Amino acid sequence: MAGLKTYSVNVNGNAATLRLSDEDAESRGLTAADLVGATPAPKAKAPRAKNGPAPLNKSRTAAEKAE
């Protein structure tokens, strides 16, 4: 997708990022002031702390098996 630039715009009250060609941006009234710099890398999910609470054991107990 050569020739596309990233623009930060407000759509229906919500912030949005659009990748548009120069012609599409001009037709929407976007200028160089609306351009976004380098897009940030997606944030990695933080690992669960090893000293955090243990997950719940969902297996049945001996009392439940007898019923």
Predicted local confidence at residue 23, as pLDDT:
92
The C-alpha atoms of residue 24 and residue 28 are separated, in whole angstroms, by 6
Domain-wise residue ranges, the chain: 1-31
- What is 9-57 written as a DSSP string? EEETTEEEEEEE-HHHHHHTT--GGGB--SPPPPPPPPPPPTTSPPPPP
Q: Mean pLDDT over all residues of the chain? A: 77
Predicted TM-score (pTM) of this structure: 0.49
- pLDDT at residue 1 is higher than 80: no
Reported as half-sphere exposure (CB side, CA atoms, 13 A), residue 11 has a value of 8
The C-alpha atoms of residue 39 and residue 19 are separated, in whole angstroms, by 11
